[in-house]
Structure 1
Amino acid sequence: MSESTATPVVERTNESPYAVLRWLVLATFVVILNETIMVNAIPRLMQELEVTARSAQWLSTAFMLTMAVVIPVTGWFLQRVTTRQAFTTAMTVFLAGTLLSALAPVFWLLVMGRIVQAAGTAVMLPLLMTTLMTIVPEHDRGRVMGNVTLAISVAPALGPAVSGVVLQLASWRWLFGLVLPVAGLVTVLALRKLTDVGETRPSRLDVPSIGLAALGFGTLVYGLSRIGAAEGSGVPALALVGAGLVVVAAFLLRQRALQRRDMPLLDLRVLSHRTYAVGVTVQSVSFLAMLGAMILLPLYLQDLRGLTPLETGLLVAPGGLAMGLLGPRVGRAFDRVGAKPLVVPGAIGLVIGLGMLSRVGETTPYAVVLAGHVVMMVSLAALFTPVFTISLGALPPHLYSHGSSLLGTSQQVAAAIGTAVSVTVLASRSNALLDAGASESAAFVGGVQWAFGAAALISLSVVALVFLLPSRVPGAGPAPVEEVDPTGEPDPVGC
């Protein structure tokens, strides 16, 4: 049977095949929560481990770098191993990194722990999305994707709030000490129920591709993360970005060559599908704007307005919760009416929300800041579920894993670009106002306003791009009037 016509295989059990998703969603929630749980711990770590702010940022930078390096490999990895093998590998690596981080006696071991954690995390989301696309029928994908969005959107929103509470009561080590038993329990329970989905495809691993991916994406993301930071005696940030782009280009050329032998590490034929190419661009630009806002808001609320990390986490949590809670409703609406009625208002709302945040000042009521953030996150909810579903749905089944991997890689690069743009605009505008005689607080406000404004301008491209997306994948019809799970279960993911 050819790969393009192969029928997805689900191991026969007495449970619904949808039950596989419950365990993958729960595990993904835990690992993604961990991604943002360190946000509020940096000041305390600087004091307890006696490191500078620049060194402490490696806890975030190293995590992001590792994700950018590992995700391109997951397309090949997920085709070669079974669902259980991929899950076991990801969670074992994540647990090892969490334990190392919790016990780390010195800073560099803590950074190593974060790197190991990220290596496990990088596998989970592509595994979840590939499995979802394999077992869920076309007419039901929006609803199920909406339930998945509930988990993966709420997790990063809760991370700063959870860390704020933990740091109020205990040492930073408990950020890992609390995650470790929860992740371990989820792993043990999941392996008792998890079944294999799809078919494996043996293929040779191209070692030069791994080297090019690691060097290219790692250098690119690191260079972008250094833009706007004070330059030391090392290589300039722009030089790192340029070198990274050259190596990434070499990686892409090698994948094109390997495609002729049907053995690419990351199959770029996904980009030959127009809907997927437009969708991944929309996702990346939207993610860029969202990450820029996530960087700017804590700086504004803590450095200028004087809020504590816990207060900051609680203020931004409603936006993330609203985004997650709307996920199932957006998914059901997508199944009924298609993408266009959702993504067009979502794109416009994203620009409006960022525009509202670009007007914040030294005394702006917190309710206004909250409203702008909620508008932005609700708009992203209207974008992410339909765009993700229709993008991957446009691919043939044998490209699902590569499509998920490329999407994850582009989001990591977009996150680095969003951070670089935000910090650069903030710093350059603030310095210009200081040179013109403005006070430090006025200069900082001016920088924040311009940075949010830049994100709003970038988001205008999303408004143009969503009109290029079809409402449905060609050949897919609307969901039945009675939205019944094919397995007879009312809630396939348990979210």
Structure 2
Amino acid sequence: MNISSEAGGSADLSGIKRGPIVAALVIGAFVAILNETLLNIAFPDLMKEFGVLPATIQWLSTAYMLVIGVLVPVTALLQQWFTTRQMFLTAMILFLVGTVICGTAPIFSMLLVGRVVQAIGTGLMLPVMMNTILVIFPPEKRGGAMGMIGLVIMFGPAIGPTLAGLIIDQLDWRWLFYLVTPLALFSVIFAAAYLKNVSDITKPKVDILSILLSSIGFGGIVYGFSKAGEGSWSAPEVVWTIVVGGIAVVLFVIRQMLMKEPILNLRAFKYPMFTLVTIMMLVLMMTLFSTMILLPLFLQTALMMTAFKAGLTLMPGGVINGIMAPISGKLFDKFGPRVLVIPGLILVMLAVWLFTGITVSTTAGYVVTLHIILLIGISLVMMPAQTTGLNELPRHLYPHGTAILNTLQQVAGAIGTALFISIMSSGTKKYMETAANPNPAEGLVAGLHDAFLIGFWIGLIALVLSFFIKRVKAPAEDAGHVPVKEQHS
């Protein structure tokens, strides 16, 4: 990438139109996140086609999370070396190339390579997207902008499983990639035409040791917990990767605190509201994963739904969540975070508590209702909380703040998935060993009850933290935020 032509200190934001920039970001995010949720439902077909076992096919998800977990911490450094256009266009071109590789893969290893290339694109894009919103919008208007991004982030997963089920029923798994390819190509063309550079190029020193420690640390933790979710927590592979990953993260943190120009500036945690929000989001993401991972299992195994029908059952909640995201963003701009985050977490806790009472005779309508309550609560919490935390940071810490949040959410996702799958498996095993007339469906439900109950108690931590959240003033360096032209489509 040629950085001399566009790089050179602070970007000039005068005269930049927000509308096309936001549109370019939204299109790219939608394509990437939609594709992330399309593939899981195709796993049975892929296992048949390539003749691989569940433990092998799971790598299509594990590798995706692993690459993002390794890459995202480094994006704070990359965003200070390369312009917004270079970062975003590189991300979307990589995603496009990965999609083509996946769609034409003759063997499983080629499909896995394609997924890794896609993940590199996604890992580069998500922090750039959040950082760009922070730069081009003043603090009092960021809620609405983040809400638009939230709509896309939630709408992709909402329609992904249903769309994938329909495509697989009618066509072939390769069409999951064929249909995404023109969308990705359009995103590249649109961004090339309309996306402007808004980042500040400072070209800090590249510390190779920090990058290695970050990659080993976060990669090891994500990998270890992902493998724990597939099998045993006591397996040597799981224990050693988590231990080595944990040690590397500790060394990484120590090194960043001692460096004058760290690749991930952990001094962002000196800002109390950012720290509070980061901890709250970690806990909330774990609780969210307790439902997102377990509900499809309940629908397909206990209620005996097809993948397509299970996707349809979960679709209304996701669609309403997407609709609510921009609304909660506008409400955040007007009223601040407390009036949204506290009621939102109460709704989340209510839904998770009611999920502890589901049985094999629970109706689909009841599940739909609880899922809608859960995701309305999530929409009131996610973007308002993140925006509150990031608003407190000075501009030079935006890339670091977004990278920290995205990295820790990946780690929370991996931990949450492993934790709740293992709790469910343990509860199911205990039921099957002690029940007089064991029934596999009843055993699964017994395990789900245990998992949802733990999810509820973990979620209470987030609820307690929410009472301390409050609107923050922008730092002095944001007070003179350069006005950016509005453009309404």
Q: TM class by shorter-chain length?
A: over 0.9
Decide which of 402, 414, 417 is 2:415's aligned counterpart. Answer: 417
Counterpart residue type for residue 433 of structure 2:
D
Look up the SS of the partner of 2:236 in the other structure: coil
Distance 1:487 1:88 in 2: 23
Q: Which amino acid letter does the alignment assign opposite residue 358 of structure 2?
A: V
What are the Cα deviations for residues 218-249 of structure 1, in whole angstroms up to 9, with x where unaligned?
A: 11111111224335996242332222111111
The one-letter amino acid paired with 1:66 is V
| TM-fit CA distance, 1:460 | 0.3
Separation in 2 of the partners of 1:473 and 1:165?
48
CA contact (8 A) 2:136 2:484 kept: no
Q: How far off its partner does 1:148 sit?
A: 1.7
1:236-279 Cα shifts (integer Å, max 9, x gaps):
42332222111111111111122xx2x21111011111100111
* 1:184 lines up with 2:185 in the alignment: yes
Matched position secondary structure for 1:227:
helix
Q: Report the equivalent of 1:250.
A: 251
Paired with 1:474 and 1:126, the residues of 2 have a C-alpha distance of: 20
Shift of 1:299: 0.8
Kindly report the root-mean-square deviation, in angstroms, between the aligned alpha carbons of the 2 structures: 2.0
2-side partners of 1:192 and 1:236: how far apart? 47
Residues 237-276 of structure 1 aligned to structure 2 (within 5 Å): 237-258=238-259, 261=260, 263-276=261-274
1:443 matched to 2:443: yes
1:284–1:367 Cα change, 3 Å? same
> Which amino acid is 1:58 matched to?
W
Q: Do the aligned residues in 2 keep the contact of 1:8 with 1:134 (CA within 8 Å)?
A: no
Aligned counterparts of 1:277 and 1:440: Cα–Cα separation in 2: 43
CA offsets 1:73-124 (integer angstroms, 9 cap, x no match): 0011112111111112111111111111111111111111111100110111
Residues 301-380 of structure 1 aligned to structure 2 (within 5 Å): 301-380=299-378
- Supply the distance in 1 between the matched residues of 2:54 and 2:432 (Cα, whole angstroms): 23
Matched, 1:466 2:487: no
* Matching residue of 1:482: none
The answer as to whether partners of 2:283 and 2:459 remain within 8 angstroms in 1 is: yes
Q: Distance in 1 between matches of 2:98 and 2:229?
A: 30
Aligned to 2:121: 120
Q: Using a 3 Å threshold, how does the CA distance of structure 1 residues 175 and 328 change in structure 2: closer, same or farther?
A: same
Residue in 1 aligned with 2:160? 159
For 2:479, the equivalent position in structure 1 comes to none
In 1, distance between residues paired with 2:231 and 2:143? 45
2:282 corresponding residue in structure 1: 284
Higher mean displacement: 351-360 or 61-70: 351-360
Please give the alpha-carbon distance, in whole angstroms, between the structure 1 residues aligned to 2:255 and 2:115: 30
Amino acid paired to 2:131? T
Query: What's 2:38 paired with?
Result: 37
Deviation at 1:440, TM superposition (A): 1.9
Partner of 1:457: 457
The count of aligned residue pairs is 474
Cα 1:351–1:448 shift into 2, 3 Å: same
Rate the CA distance shift 1:60–1:209 in 2: closer, same or farther, 3 A: same
Give, in whole Å, the separation in 2 of the partners of 1:384 and 1:335.
14
Structure 2 residue 108 is matched with structure 1 residue 110: no
Structure 2 match to 1:4: none
Displacement of 1:309: 1.1
With over 3 angstroms needed to count, the CA separation of the structure-2 counterparts of 1:401 and 1:360, relative to structure 1, is same
In 1, the alpha carbon distance for the partners of 2:447 and 2:455 equals 12
* Cα distance in structure 2, aligned partners of 1:232 and 1:468: 35
Residue 474 of structure 1 and its aligned partner are, at CA, apart by 6.1
Q: Check the 8 A contact 2:391/2:472 in 1, yes or no.
A: no
Partner of 2:5: none
Q: In the aligned structure 1, how far is the partner of 2:184 from the partner of 2:71?
A: 21
Q: Which region of structure 1 is more displaced relative to structure 2, 162-171 or 52-61?
A: 162-171
Distance in 1 (CA, whole Å) between partners of 2:182 and 2:12 is 30
**1:204 pairs with 2:232:** no
The one-character-per-residue Cα deviations of 1:20-78 (angstroms, maximum 9, x if unpaired) are 11111111111111111112000000001100011010010000001100000001111
Cα distance, 1:331 vs. partner? 1.1
Equivalent of 2:11 in 9, 16, 29: 9
1:286-307 deviations in Å (ceiling 9; x for gaps): 1111122111011111122111
Give the Cα–Cα distance (whole angstroms) in 1 for the partners of residues 241 and 172 of structure 2. 36
| 2:380 corresponding residue in structure 1 | 382
Q: What residue number does 1:481 align with?
A: none
Q: How many Å apart are 1:152 and its aligned residue?
A: 1.4
Query: Is 1:173 equivalent to 2:174 in the alignment?
Result: yes
CA contact (8 A) 1:10 1:195 kept: no
Tell me if structure 1 keeps the 8 A contact 2:229–2:417: no
TM-score (norm 1): 0.92
1:178–1:10 CA distance, 2 compared to 1 (3 A): farther
- CA–CA distance in 2 between the matches of 1:189 and 1:228? 39
Structure 1 unaligned segments of length 5 or more: list them.
1-6, 477-484
Of 192-201 and 52-61, deviating more is 192-201
> Partners in 1 of 2:231 and 2:347 — Cα distance?
35
Q: Distance in 2 between matches of 1:339 and 1:232?
A: 38
AA aligned to 1:225 is S
Q: Is residue 226 of structure 2 the alignment partner of residue 225 of structure 1? A: yes
Corresponding residue to 1:434 among 432, 435, 445: 432
Distance 1:359-1:8 versus aligned 2 partners, 3 A rule: farther
Q: Are 1:255 and 1:268, in contact at CA under 8 Å, matched by a contact in 2?
A: yes
Aligned-pair distance for 1:488?
4.8
CA drift of 1:472 comes to 3.7
Shift of 1:351: 0.7
Q: Which amino acid aligns with 1:462?
A: A
TM-score normalised to structure 2 length: 0.93
Residue 335 of structure 1: how far off its partner (Å): 1.2
SS for the counterpart of 1:203 is: coil
Alignment of 1:402 onto 2:437:
no
Identity across matched positions, percent: 34
Partner AA of 1:297 in structure 2: L
